[in-house]
Structure 1
Amino acid sequence: MHATAPAIQSSLVEITAPAYPVEIDLAYAGTHNFTGRRIYASACCALHPDAAACLLKAALAARRAGYTLKIFDAYRPAAAQDVFWALCPDPRYVSDASKGSNHTRGIAVDVTLIDEQGRDLDMGTHFDAMQEQSHHDRDDLPATVQRNRSLLLGIMLQAGFHSIPTEWWHYELQPDSRYPLLDDPMVKVCSP
């Protein structure tokens, strides 16, 4: 019989500059996302303290390599997860809202890299493009795209995150069973 790890008590940490050398561009605080509408009432970026510590390591590693991490999403309220699942009930890309998401635990972050001029590195697809081209194992992408994805993957893995096979932008802490689902008022969802 395996012993289960004790649940970690949670409180979210707001991710802001200059404490975190990142660019924050929360896609769901605007309309440039797969829903086509604003989901978050404000652009508040937050993570569980464990994920925030790993994010800081990743951000510093990216800076040493001449890049900056750009954050598209972090903690996601359950109400937002409900909206996403209703629009895209495909478990390859969106976690079933009834089961929860690692974003809803505050331990997942969606990121890319930007260069010194503030331009996104070419990753082959947009963030939240729910298609085969977004998968990590694609060998049919241009060499530059493969290098850029590998660079991001290396930075995030070295910092303590894990990837998922279907989204080049998504990184999370494991095991997720140690982290409870949250409903934190720090990030508010817009009314429908």
Structure 2
Amino acid sequence: MMMCMLASASAGAGQDFKVERRRPDNFVDVARAIPKMQFDIRYYSAHNFVGRRVHGYEQAACLLTGPAVAALKKVEDQLLPMGLTLKAYDCYRPQSAVDDFVSWAADTQDNRMQAEFYPSVRKDRLFEQGYIAAHSGHSRGSTIDLTLVPVNSVIPGFDGRLADCAAPQEKRVPDNSLDFGTGFDCFSPASHPDYQAISAQAKANRRLLQSLMGSAGFVPLETEWWHFTLKNEPYPDTYFDFPVRPVSP
């Protein structure tokens, strides 16, 4: 699909960035490319810090650029002999979803999910502390939020009960993820990859994930153990805003 329909938008601090509203042909449905990988697309569900489906998520699909998928498959191929597989929480994220986060953050009266995702942070400080921003690398199509899970394990359903995301694993909301010290999207310093006050096993799991992803060409984010961006991403300056739904083969 030809690159067109570009718009300019404010990225904060006086910066501009390009918004592309059509999907390029090299975006891939990851479930088709990596069949044993699991997908727990949180922003399609109500189990996220907003507490409802996020704008732009029409289906629970994981889309990434072709180069990102090729690199991710290298990681998966190393994990399978260990009895492990990747599980994605989020992949490509439309700019409209990021805008939805910004609008949600401005409504300081809506704290329905605070007990799980930001129990120790005031909502009116989420921007200041960097947990919410006006744009995201996810919108460029080569960033993924993911974890490690046992092959053939079952993703637990969400029953609406909340628990502190930084609590010990057995006290958090159930997830089939290995223990990484916090749950996904935990707005806490404990989510920083180099945070030390977690169990030895959680530290080892973080090292394994970072090592495998780094070897495949992904760069971590210093504040989120689950977040990785392909170093040589094909669209470093373009933020996409087409809806999330499966890509036809």
Question: Which TM-score band applies after superposition, normalised by the shorter structure?
Answer: 0.7 to 0.9
Question: 1:3 matched to which residue of 2?
Answer: none
Question: 2:194 matched to which residue of 1?
Answer: 137
Separation in structure 2 between the aligned mates of residue 13 and residue 117 of structure 1, nearest angstrom:
23
Question: 1:165 matched to which residue of 2?
Answer: 222
**Aligned counterpart for 1:102 among listed residues 118, 123, 137:** 137
Q: Residues 65 and 101 of structure 1: is their aligned pair in 2 closer, same or farther, counting only changes over 3 Å?
A: same
TM-score under structure 1 length normalisation = 0.83
Q: How does 1:16-165 map to 2 (within 5 A)?
A: 16-17=31-32, 19-39=34-54, 40-86=57-103, 87=105, 88-90=126-128, 92-94=130-132, 96-97=133-134, 100-116=135-151, 118=153, 119-165=176-222
Separation in structure 1 between the aligned mates of residue 45 and residue 75 of structure 2, nearest angstrom:
25
- Per-residue deviation, 1:66: 2.0
Question: 1:184 matched to which residue of 2?
Answer: 242
Q: Which 10-residue stretch deviates more, 82-91 or 148-157? A: 82-91
Q: Which residue identity does 1:23 align to in structure 2? A: Q
Ranges in structure 1 where 5+ consecutive residues have no aligned partner: 1-8
Q: Which residue identity does 2:28 align to in structure 1? A: V
Q: Secondary structure at the match of 1:36?
A: coil
- Per-residue deviation, 1:43: 0.4
Q: Which 10-residue stretch deviates more, 57-66 or 71-80? A: 57-66
Question: 1:4 matched to which residue of 2?
Answer: none
- Per-residue deviation, 1:131: 0.6
Aligned residues: 177
- Per-residue deviation, 1:90: 4.5
Deviations 1:114-166 (A, max 9, x none): 02462310111110001111001111111011011111111111111100110
Contact 1:156/1:162, CA 8 A, preserved across alignment: yes
Separation in structure 2 between the aligned mates of residue 20 and residue 181 of structure 1, nearest angstrom:
27
Q: Secondary structure at the match of 2:217?
A: coil
Q: Which residue identity does 1:82 align to in structure 2? A: D
Q: Which 10-residue stretch deviates more, 170-179 or 137-146? A: 170-179
Ranges in structure 2 where 5+ consecutive residues have no aligned partner: 1-22, 106-125, 154-175
Q: Residues 91 and 105 of structure 1: is their aligned pair in 2 closer, same or farther, counting only changes over 3 Å?
A: farther
Deviations 1:61-110 (A, max 9, x none): 2213321100000000001011223324256333x32xx32100001000
Q: Secondary structure at the match of 2:74?
A: helix
Q: Which 10-residue stretch deviates more, 13-22 or 116-125? A: 13-22
RMSD: 2.2
